[in-house]
Structures are given as C-alpha cells and as structure tokens.
Chains A and B, each alone.
Chain A
Amino acid sequence: MSPASSRLLEVENLTVRFGSADPVRHLSFSVDRGETVAVVGESGSGKSLSALALMRLLPRNAEVPNGRITFEGTDLLKLSDRDIRKVRGREIAMIFQEPMTSLNPVATIGNQIAEVLRLHEKLSRKEARARAIELLNLVKIPDAEKRVDDFPHQLSGGQRQRVMIAIAVACKPKLLIADEPTTALDATIQAQILELLDELRRKLSMGLLLITHDLGVVSRWSDRVVVMYHGDKLEELPTSELFSPDRHPYTRGLAQASIRLEDGVHYTSRTLSEIRVVRDADGQNDYQIRQPVPRDLPPVANDDEPILQVDGLSVTYRTRNRENRALDKATLTLAKGETLGIVGESGSGKSTLSKAIMRLVNAESGSIRFQGQDITSLGPNQLQPVRRDLQMIFQDPFGSLNPRKSIRDILEAPLIVHGVRDAAERRQRIAQTFDHVRLPLSAAERYPHEFSGGQRQRIGIARALILKPSLVICDEPVSALDVSIQAQILNLLVDLKRDLGLSYLFISHDLAVVQYISDRVIVMKDSRIIEESDHKTIWRQPKTDYTRALIAAAAGGETRNRALAS
C-alpha cells in the first residue's frame, strides 16, 4: 500500500475560536488506517474541542477560522450540513467520557443502536434489531437477546460504555474517536473496555483516535502520541519514546508526575515532580520540572493508643421494599500520624465507611472509637466537639464549594460554628491556613468560580484544616484533578501531615495514588474489607485473587510498550 492511500485523516493548521479566545491553535496531525493515535493533555489543553471539531460538533458559538480536515480526500470543513451528517456515525464515529449520561434515558439500548443503522444503512426495523443484538454480542454484553430491550439505567457504567461502542461501530466506521472513554470507569472495567476497543480496531480495521489525560492508557494502547498544552501541540512522537529522557520538557514532566504502580514510589522515599509552566518575556511558555526536596518524617508511633478504632461496623440502607447492606462488619485501626489507604471499586462500600466514621450515616452495629472516645451513638450536641478533630476532604472541587459564598465566608463558617467569636482571631486562623495550603491571602475575597480545579481543591483542604483536626478523611481527593495538579496536591498532603501531625484515611480507586501515599492499605469489595496489609507487602504479595486482579488491571497499563521498547 502506498503511503498516500494509507492516510485516513489529515488535520492541518486547525484553529478553534470562541469570541476572542483560541482554545486550539494551528493543530496538525494525521491518522493512518488501522492506526491508534493518542491525543494527550490536561484539562484546558483543547484535546476534546479538537475531537469535536473533527465531527463538526462544536458548540454554536465556536468557529473554525482556518485549517483543513481532510478525511479520505474530502475537506470535512467544506461539507454542507447535510453531507457532514452522512459522515457522522457512518464514516467517523465517536464515544464520550460519561457513559452514565451519554445514552438517552427514555429509549431502550436496542432502539438506540438500531437508530443509527436505520439512518445510514436503511435497514428495516426487524433487520436493525437483529443487527443490534449481533452488535451487543460483539461488545460482549451477556444475554444480548434479553438485554436489547433494557433501558440505560438498568446497565452498569461499563455496560453502558459497551453500548456506546456498539452504537459507534454499528456502521463499521473508518475512524473511531474515543474521548476519555474510560476515565469514569473502575480500573478493571477500564482495561476491559480498552481491550475491546483495540480488538474492534483490528477486526474492523478502523483508525482510532484516543483522547485522554492518562499516560498509562496512552502507553499501552496507542502507536503515536500527540501532546497538547493550552491549545498548542507541543510534540508528536511514537509511543515507545514517551518515557525517554530527550522529550519535550512538558511531556517529561507529565511522565514524571504521573505515578505508576510498578515504579513502587512511596512518599517516604521521594516527592513527586511538579510541572511549572512560566510565560517568559517574549510570551513563550517555559516548562519547568521541579522536584521538591523530601523532608524527614517522624515515624508512625505504634505504641500509642490508635487515633481511630473501628470494630465490626455495619451500615444498612433501607428503602421501602429493599435492604442494602452497604458496609458489612468493617474492622480497622489507625495509629496517630499514619495514613491508611482504602482501595475499592465503585459500590465497594468505601464511601459508606467514611460517612459512617464521620457519623453522617448511622451504624447498624459495631463501634467507632475516636481518640479514645466511643462516638458510635453520640447525640448531635456531644458530637459537635468531636467533629472539630475529624474533618473531610471531598472529591469534587467544583461541587463541594458553595458558589455564592466568598472563600472567606466558606472558611469562617466552621470557625463560627465551633465558637471562635473573635474576628481578629478568625482572620489570623484563615491567614495561617492559607499559608499551609499555599494560597495567596488575596484569594479570601474571591469566589469559587474564579479558581482552577487544583486551587479549589486547596480551598477544600483549607476548609478541612482550619479547625486543626487530628484525623482527615480524604475521599478521592485527587481523582478529579489533572496529573500535574495531582502531584502538587499529593505533595501538599504529605507536607501537611508532617507539619500538622495529621492522620489520614485516604480513599481512592486509583491504586498507584494509594500506593504512593499510604502506610497501610485496606482493600474493599462488596461492602467488606477483604484484605489488609502494609504498603509494601500488599503490592508484592497480595493475598486475594481480587487484589491480584486489581493490581494486574492497574499495572498492566504501563508494561506493554515499555517491554516493547526495551
């Protein structure tokens, strides 16, 4: 095959414009037939907008002032609305990040698959249904004949993403664009979905454009990588060279900031690299990688009484005609100054455990001892002083701050509730906390929407710390953040732990993050704690099959291409 005919998609000089801002600037790249190209970047890099631009699905207020998108010899930007609709879904198909909301909730999955077949291949209702069942089999949904009439809410997240893939490949497209296809899914499901995509790519000889922030996914599943930052393409490289040292500094920073399970990095041994992007005098971005100097940590005091002791804790949620045991006889202890990592997939009961410890849900049986006091059944008044020492950091930096309150109001509220009446003292406490989380004092008068995700998470941490707690429960504190921000926040959490003598209960679905930050690790599955071990043993000698499967799913992500490269 000559090189010219193997070219499927050629993007040249593409710019996307919103008013006066250009979130994508002069982007050029290409995809060959049957090839997987990854576009990698953090939020705001313009990677998703570029993908939407290829399908001409940009929001109405966006325009494409220049550029060419040549797909099989035709410039997609020059097609009429009618003609581009013949390309969408038939020649180029797309799957999206959010499987929970990407399907129409009031239509059966069978009809949603059939719709695209009836549109492009003019199949009859009956033929389309038969094909829909075939496609559900192809994406490995069990019992396809029965599930074809199910509605989206009856399927799990992974199954919904499979349905999305079935819709996308229904008309055997030549190019499949997958925009963060697995970001919202659990690790084991993530691996399955990517495997399925790769298998379908080979079977249907599609080109695959994989848009992601996850270097692990990139390194395992793609042939070439396009790295984007703030609307600019920084470089394009074969995937095998992704981790080689002579890359663009930003790529290198990304690679160093992302934690990989098999590297076995731990907070006691080294800090994470942070990427700093500085705009220099001529408006050029200067990319710096900074690795903070590690500082000594006091050893975990094992002889003291544990700060937290949970014994046989069970929680059952009841609705009128159903009982759901969300937590089943959980037992754990946490020493002063220790970080206990809790790993589990969605529905494993890890959030219920944290809520029960915070006394946000009531325990059915079992006991919680915090700082020597049994808090299992304290009333609201007795609980008040306990809450001061027991604080929480939430996952969503956008939803967990009240948008109508200034940062000062948000931070003052807990102080007022806990009886700090002196305004000067409150101001001083806020200043001190800002100093801890490294926010400028000017931030106090501003509102949450004025901050980036990473800054908001710092505000969330500040809110938890302002009462000087002794135990902080971190519920997926870095899951919603970009890799480089994630590194900064994790470094910050380690520093705070040392400076303020904190203990953490660190909940995450991300094994690499838990491995980095935890002293001990608990694995949860189906509302139970199934394994507990120190941070070294659990990765090297997992006791249960489930833990082994989790580790395989998480670690497998990075090994293939590196094995190929070496």
Chain B
Amino acid sequence: MSALLRILRTLRRTLLQAVPTILGIIILNFFLLQLAPGDAADVMAGEAGSATVETMQALRERFGLDNPVLVQLANYLGNLAQFSLGFSPRYGMPVTELIGQRLPGTLTLMAMALAIAILIGLTLGSLMAAFSGRLPDRLLSILALLFYSVPGFWIGLMLIVLFSVTLGWLPSGGAGTIGSSYTGFAAIVDKARYMVLPATSLALFYVAIYARLTRAAMLEVKNQDFVRTAYAKGLSPVVVTVKHVLRNALIPITTMAGMHVGGMLGGAVVVETVYSWPGLGRLAFEAVMGRDYTVLLGILLLSSILVILANTVVDLAQAWLDPRIGEQK
C-alpha cells in the first residue's frame, strides 16, 4: 500500500473522531466555568467601585448573563454555528477578533519552543545513548535532570538576568522593537531576537523529557536484531544510528510531542507573563481574573482544536514513519 493512501486513511479516521470530541469539550467547559463564583458583571462592578443593583442588572441583561444556564449554552452554541465566538463584555470587542490578535504570537512561540525542544532533545538523547553509561551520558543526564526540575519562570528570570541585564545581548521582554520600521529579513531577525529567550525557557523542560525519551528509545532499538543486520552490511556507526536506529526511535517521541502541545499552552501563561509576550496564555489568565467566560470559552475551544490538530499531525507523522500504522487490518 502506498504511503499516501495510508496517510489519507489515518486522516479520515482522525477527523471523524474529532467532531464529537470538540462538541463534548465545549459543553463540558461551559458547565465547568458556571461552577466558578461570580461573573463578568461582578468584576466590572467591583473595578468601577460604584455600582447599583440596577446597573448590574443592566450589564447582565446586555451580555445575556441573566438568562438560565441552558439558554446561555444554547445561545453560545447558536453563535458557534455561525462561526462566532461571541462578544467579550470586558474588552468590548468580538472574541474572534481578540483571539485573532493574540494567536499568532503564541503559535510562533510554541512552534519555536517545540522545535528547539525536539532538536536539542534528540541531539542530547542520541549523544547520551551513544555514550551510555560513560561520562558524557552521566553529565548530560544531570543537565537533563536540572532542566526537568527547575521551574520555568525561574529559568526565564535567570535567562533575562544573564542575557539581557548582564550581557545585554537580547531584549528582556515584548514581541518586537516598538516604533521600529524594519521590513523583510531585518523584521524577521528583530522578531527572532525577542523570541529566543521566551522560547528557550519554555523549551528547556521539554528538552529534558525528549532527551531522556530519545536515550531510552534508542538504547532499546539498538539491541534489536535489525541493527545487527545493518552493522553486518558494513555500514558505519553514524549511518546505522541515523538511518536505522533514530527513525525507529522517533515513533514514541512523536507521540509525546503531540501530547505536549496542550501542556505547552499551559506553560505559555507563565513564560508570556515573565517576558510580557502578548499571547493567548496571558489573555486566558486575564480572562479568568475578569470572569470573562466568553473569552475563556473561546480560548479553551481554540486550544482544544489546537491539541486535536497536533494529535492529527502526530498520527500522520506516525503513519509516515511506521508502515505498520494505518494499514487495513
């Protein structure tokens, strides 16, 4: 069977499974948020400092917060059916627009962090496997343990201290030089300079995970018979490692990477706060504090779609990597 057919079959199955999953997530999230005390009107009234019962009533009426819960859910689902995520009472703008502003920032940050994590993780893991039980393996293991156990915000702060404050190489926060008029390549370099530190602090935890995982997977694959076959062909150790061992070891690693997309979104809240990066994580945080459930629901919906998408990509990658997956049994 061709690789393409295998991949298409996997894609169809995944999409069919995604629809009920997303619907379930929306409804579950909706009810979960109803459990939290207070609503947007309470917070806005609290912030304004002076609110009468009438003004609060008016606020609630305006945003439909006075309707019974089930009616609110029906309204929300009705909005969704028209591809609208609703209107944010707090920011005074449609949620779709609000998220649209923040999404690219977070996505690039996550993609960069994931890329760094996989790249460095694979390299370190391969090195650890190649020198297993010897000094380089021990030293890298300690390093990985360090990355794994130190909290992300602390790493973020320390990176700022080192690279921004002491060395002055990289900016300490923000998403681009304010008022700059860079174009083309210069704009990309400017953007990248702002992204290096947040992406690295987000990535280091995952570097540790991928390094350990790669090491274990490669050591397991190394002992398999087909690796001995590869050596018996006269291939050099580097070729055997890259062409035969690594490709087989990648299969468990892609599974983990897909699962981490959701986790990274959570980690983004902290990193975006430390580096004042205008992303979804911070928006979510602010939405929670302001009881702005429409925004929060929108973000949750979007992130669940993101996770499902990431898993689809992983499924496809695995169908491509491993011919035994996606085969008609």
Residues of A bordering B, CB below 8 Å: 55, 57, 85-90, 93-94, 96, 98, 101-108, 115-116, 119-120, 151, 153, 164, 167, 319-322
Contact = CB atoms under 8 A, between A and B. Distances in A.
Interface stretch (B85-93, B140-148, B228-236, B296-304): B228-236
Contacts of B321: 106
A89 B329 contact: no
Name the 4 nearest CB pairs between A and B, nearest first. Answer: A89-B234, A88-B234, A151-B323, A89-B233
Contacts of A107: 243-244, 247
Interface string B178-199: 0000000000000000000000
B231 A88 contact: yes
B7 to A, nearest CB: 14
B39 interface: no
A104 B244 contact: yes
Contacts of A151: 323-324
Contacts, number: 73
A116 B322 contact: no
B328 interface: yes
Given A85-B236, A119-B234, A322-B329, A103 B248 contact: no
Contact of A94 (B232, B248, B328): B232
Contact of B233 (A96, A115, A321): A115
16 contacts: A85-B234, A88-B233, A89-B233, A89-B235, A93-B232, A101-B224, A101-B226, A104-B229, A105-B248, A106-B248, A106-B321, A116-B233, A116-B234, A119-B234, A319-B329, A321-B329
Nearest to B224: A101
Contacts of B329: 319-322
Given A106-B248, A153-B323, 9 more contacts: A57-B232, A88-B233, A101-B225, A102-B228, A106-B247, A107-B243, A108-B323, A153-B324, A319-B329
Nearest to B223: A59
A167 B229 contact: yes
Contacts of A106: 247-248, 321-323
A153 B1 CA distance: 12
Nearest to B227: A104
A167 B225 CA distance: 15
Nearest to B323: A151
Interface residues of B, number: 22
B130 to A, nearest CB: 12
Interface string B223-262: 0111011111111100000011001100000000000000
Given A151-B324, A320-B329, A322-B329, A102 B226 contact: yes
A106 B246 CA distance: 11
A57 B232 CA distance: 7
Contacts of A55: 232
B234 A164 contact: no
Contacts of B236: 85
B235 A85 contact: yes
A108 B248 CA distance: 13
A115 B235 contact: yes
**A87, A93, A102: residue with the most chain B Cβ atoms closer than 10 Å:** A102
Contacts of A87: 234
B225 A120 contact: no
A62 to B, nearest CB: 14
B329 to A, nearest CB: 5
A298 to B, nearest CB: 48
B323 A96 contact: no
Interface string B245-288: 00110000000000000000000000000000000000000000
A324 B14 CA distance: 26
Contacts of A86: 234
Given A321-B328, A321-B329, A103 B232 contact: no
Nearest to A87: B234
Contacts of A321: 328-329
B272 to A, nearest CB: 38
B209 to A, nearest CB: 23
Residue of A86, A89, A321 with most chain B CB atoms under a 10 A cut-off? A89
Given A98-B225, A101-B224, A57 B244 contact: no
Given A319-B329, A321-B328, A321-B329, A102 B229 contact: yes
Given A167-B229, A320-B329, A105 B234 contact: no
B133 to A, nearest CB: 10
A432 to B, nearest CB: 42
A164 B244 CA distance: 16
Nearest to A55: B232
A8 to B, nearest CB: 18
A105 B229 contact: no
A164 B225 CA distance: 12
Given A98-B225, A102-B225, A105-B324, A119 B232 contact: no
Contacts of A115: 233, 235, 243
A71 B243 CA distance: 30
Contacts of B235: 85, 89, 115, 119
B326 to A, nearest CB: 12
A116 B232 CA distance: 10
Nearest to A96: B225
Contacts of B230: 104
Contacts of A319: 329
A102, A104, A167, A321 interface centre (most CB from chain B within 10 Å): A104
A93 B233 CA distance: 7
* Among B232, B322, B329, residue most surrounded by chain A Cβ atoms (within 10 Å): B232
B324 A167 contact: no
B232 A88 contact: yes
B324 A103 contact: no
